[in-house]
Structure 1
Amino acid sequence: MAATNDPFQFQEFDEAGNLLEANRDATTISMEDDDTEPQKQRSAAGFPPDADNEDPLDTDDTTELLSGQKKSAPFWTFEYYQKFFDIETHHVKERIFGSVLPWPGRNFIHVYLRRNPDLYGPFWICTTFVFAVAISGNISSFLVHSGKPGYKYTPEFQKVTIAATAIFSYAWFVPLGLWSLLLWRNNKVMSLVTYSFIEIVCVYGYSLSIYIPAVVLSIIPFDWVRWCSIVVALCLSGSVLMMTFWPAVREDHPKMIIAIMAGIVMLNALLAIGCKIYFFGKPIQAPAIDSPPANESIKAASST
Structure 2
Amino acid sequence: MASTNDPFQFQEFEEAGSLLEANRDATTISIEDEAIQAENQRKSGGLTAGGGDDDEDPLAYDDKSELLSGQKKSVPFWTFEYYQQFFDIETHHVKERIIGSVLPWPGKNFIQVYLRRNPDLYGPFWICTTLVFAIAISGNISNFLVHLGKPNYKYTPEFGKVTIAATAIFSYAWLVPLALWGFLLWRNNKIMNLVSYSFMEIVCVYGYSLSIYIPAVVLWILPYQWLRWTSIVVALCLSGSVLMMTFWPAVRDDHPKVIIAVMSAIVLFNALLAVGCKAYFFSNPQPDLPPNSTAIEVKPSS
> Is the structural similarity TM-score above 0.5?
yes
Structure 1 residues 158, 187: closer, same or farther in 2, change over 3 A? same
Normalised TM-score (structure 2):
0.76
Matched to 2:142, the amino acid is: S
State the alpha-carbon separation in 2 of the partners of residues 61 and 294 from structure 1: 81
**What is the RMSD of the two structures over their aligned residues, measured on CA atoms?**
2.9
User: How big is the shift at 1:12?
Assistant: 5.9
Normalised TM-score (structure 1):
0.76
Q: 1:277 aligns with which of 272, 276, 279?
A: 279
Matched to 1:189, the amino acid is: I
1:17 pairs with 2:7: yes
User: How big is the shift at 1:13?
Assistant: 9.5
Work out whether residues 148 and 286 of structure 1, in 8 Å CA contact, stay in contact via their aligned partners in 2.
no
| Secondary structure of the corresponding residue to residue 210 of structure 1 | helix
Question: In the alignment, which residue of structure 2 is the partner of 1:113?
Answer: 115
1:260 pairs with 2:259: no
| Secondary structure of the corresponding residue to residue 286 of structure 1 | coil
User: How big is the shift at 1:115?
Assistant: 1.1
Question: In the alignment, which residue of structure 1 is the partner of 2:168?
Answer: 166
Matched to 1:193, the amino acid is: V
| Secondary structure of the corresponding residue to residue 248 of structure 2 | helix
| Secondary structure of the corresponding residue to residue 7 of structure 2 | helix
State the alpha-carbon separation in 2 of the partners of residues 272 and 100 from structure 1: 16
Work out whether residues 183 and 194 of structure 1, in 8 Å CA contact, stay in contact via their aligned partners in 2.
yes
Q: Which has the larger radius of gyration?
A: 1
Question: In the alignment, which residue of structure 1 is the partner of 2:243?
Answer: 241
Structure 1 residues 288, 252: closer, same or farther in 2, change over 3 A? same
Q: 1:190 aligns with which of 189, 192, 207?
A: 192
State the alpha-carbon separation in 2 of the partners of residues 62 and 116 from structure 1: 19
State the alpha-carbon separation in 2 of the partners of residues 14 and 257 from structure 1: 103
State the alpha-carbon separation in 2 of the partners of residues 234 and 277 from structure 1: 15
User: Any stretches of 5+ residues in structure 1 without a counterpart?
Assistant: 1-10, 19-55, 297-304
State the alpha-carbon separation in 1 of the partners of residues 296 and 287 from structure 2: 25
Work out whether residues 193 and 248 of structure 1, in 8 Å CA contact, stay in contact via their aligned partners in 2.
yes
User: How big is the shift at 1:288?
Assistant: 1.9
Structure 1 residues 131, 12: closer, same or farther in 2, change over 3 A? farther
Structure 1 residues 69, 278: closer, same or farther in 2, change over 3 A? same
Question: In the alignment, which residue of structure 1 is the partner of 2:36?
Answer: none
Deviations for 1:98-146, whole angstroms, at most 9, x for unmatched residues? 1111111111111111111111110000000000010000000000011
State the alpha-carbon separation in 1 of the partners of residues 194 and 296 from structure 2: 77
Q: How does 1:187-226 map to 2 (within 5 A)?
A: 187-226=189-228
State the alpha-carbon separation in 2 of the partners of residues 93 and 137 from structure 1: 27
State the alpha-carbon separation in 1 of the partners of residues 105 and 133 from structure 2: 29
State the alpha-carbon separation in 2 of the partners of residues 146 and 57 from structure 1: 63
State the alpha-carbon separation in 1 of the partners of residues 88 and 94 from structure 2: 11
Structure 1 residues 144, 188: closer, same or farther in 2, change over 3 A? same
**Percent of aligned positions with the same letter in both sequences?**
76
How many positions carry a matched residue from both structures? Answer: 253
Structure 1 residues 251, 59: closer, same or farther in 2, change over 3 A? same
Question: In the alignment, which residue of structure 1 is the partner of 2:55?
Answer: none
Matched to 1:17, the amino acid is: P
User: How big is the shift at 1:15?
Assistant: 10
Work out whether residues 145 and 286 of structure 1, in 8 Å CA contact, stay in contact via their aligned partners in 2.
no
